[in-house]
Amino acid sequence: MDIQNQILLNSYKNVDSVITDSFIKIELSNKSSKLIEYDITNILSATDIFDAEREANENYRIYGKIEYLSMLNGLKNQYTEVEDFFLPQNTDNKNILNSFEFYLVKPTTGYTEIISDSNNYLRYFEVIATPNDFELFPAGFGDNVFGEQNYCFIFNKDFDISLYYDNFNFPLVELFLYAKYIPKGNGFTTPSPENLYYSYWNPLTGIKSNIPLNTNSLNIGDKVYGDLITYNKPEFKQTVYSGQTYYIRTPYNDSNNQLKNIVWKYNPFLSFRLRYFSNDLYSVNTGSTTYELTTSIPIYATFDEFSGNYVWRDILAQGYIDPISNVGVDYPFINKKRYLFSNIILTIVPDLTDTNTNNVFNKIKITTDTLNVIPIIDNLNDLGKPCQ
């Protein structure tokens, strides 16, 4: 309750005035009280705060190192004979910088079912970053075992994967570097240089179709054919049944001046692993379970009509490595983003299922000449002694 005090104005003060207290009295007490520990200390776990912030944030900055391994690396542009494929050039040659356009793609909607009522699908990838968002530059002191230059790369934008879901409403656990080959010159005007196509292989029928590849540059939102997957709804699992393969035809003149082709192949989609699903499968029936279990169903859970249950797998937390499967990721987290570093090996190899290509490489002979090896002199016993 408020304390009311009457204060006498100075103009009315005189010897006959009523004595008025103009001060508030405060009671002083020396009673002791027990101090409770949690009132004076607050334990702050920097680790718990870091983990909570990292789990709540799904922004990625993607960078890494890429190694290009192929006989086409260093090949001269104006090849006309089969020998030209075995004579690398130091200047004015094909290399990773002028032979590829690099995109970042994600699994998207619109999968094609291979056969009606089957679990096999050809999935599509959608472009989310173009070569304008991609920087590629020589790695310092980065030669491989063949003396060829390695390269570093970085996407100069961040990617918030919380907005991305695939055709089956799965949250993304992978993005892909799409290496799109650029046909570039040879000694011929006709036919067109380096026919490019990809394989559309039906794993159930065994029929393989070769479809010409669009050589035009892509824009964000464009879709490309991806790989073949098997979708198991009751197990909440997708597995790659067959990876995509691109083929390159390089024409040349044989010894009889006949136009022939060497066929090369490579996988254009290189994975960036974002995270993993847990091995544990969860199943909840909304009509017969508790409220606590029902509310634990994540937004990406799949309803299985056969069992009448919602099924899902949890996403493993960042920094956690499953002790059984030994899978998990632990990327650095700073400046409100996760930094994903990846070592990429891009290989283009001869397609030996092509008759002419197989014949060309069968003619390559490996000599039996022995090397003159200089024996290594062991000077370990001379350590610490004066030099001669």
pLDDT of residue 114: 77
- How sure is the predictor about 87, in pLDDT bands with cuts at 50, 70 and 90? confident
Pair (270, 283) in one structural domain: no
Pair (186, 283) in one structural domain: no
Range with the poorest average pLDDT among 16-20, 133-137, 144-148, 307-311: 16-20
Pair (272, 289) in one structural domain: no
Pair (259, 293) in one structural domain: no
The residue-averaged pLDDT of 215-233 equals: 91
Q: Is the pLDDT of residue 188 over 70?
A: no
Pair (170, 261) in one structural domain: yes
Q: Is the pLDDT of residue 96 over 60?
A: yes
Pair (119, 182) in one structural domain: yes
Q: Which residue has the higher pLDDT, 194 or 51?
A: 51
* Number of structural domains in the chain: 2
Pair (298, 202) in one structural domain: no
Pair (143, 292) in one structural domain: no
Pair (162, 293) in one structural domain: no
Is 89 among the domain residues?
yes
pLDDT of residue 206: 64
Question: Quick one: three-class SS letters along the chain?
Answer: CCCCCCCCCHHHCCCCCCCCCCCCCCCCCCCCCCCCHHHHCCCCCHHHHHHHHHHHCCEEEEEEEEEEEECCCCCECCCCEHHHHHCCCCCCECCHHHHEEEEEEEECCCCEECCCCCCEEEEEEEEEECHHHEEEEEEEEEECCCCCEEEEEEECCCEEHHHCECCCCCECCEEEEEEEECCCCCCCCCCCCCEEEEEEECCCCCCEEEEECCCCCCCCCCEEEEEEEEEECCCCEEEEEECCCEEEEEEEECCCCCEEEEEEEECCEEEEECCCECCCCEEECCCCCCHHHHCCCCCCCEEECCCCEEEECCECCCCCCCCCCCCCCCCCEECCEEEEEEEEEEEEEECCCCHHHHHHHHCCCCCCCCCCCCCCCCCHHHCCCCCC
Is 202 among the domain residues?
yes
Pair (164, 177) in one structural domain: yes
Is 319 among the domain residues?
no
The residue-averaged pLDDT of 10-29 equals: 64
pLDDT of residue 201: 64
Pair (68, 95) in one structural domain: yes
Domain enclosing residue 294, as ranges: 279-312
- How sure is the predictor about 263, in pLDDT bands with cuts at 50, 70 and 90? very high
Mean pLDDT for the chain overall = 83
**pLDDT tens sequence across 55-76:** 989 999 999 999 999 999 988 8
Is 233 among the domain residues?
yes
- How sure is the predictor about 339, in pLDDT bands with cuts at 50, 70 and 90? very high
Is 25 among the domain residues?
no
pLDDT of residue 267: 93
Pair (221, 110) in one structural domain: yes
Is 189 among the domain residues?
yes
pLDDT of residue 89: 83
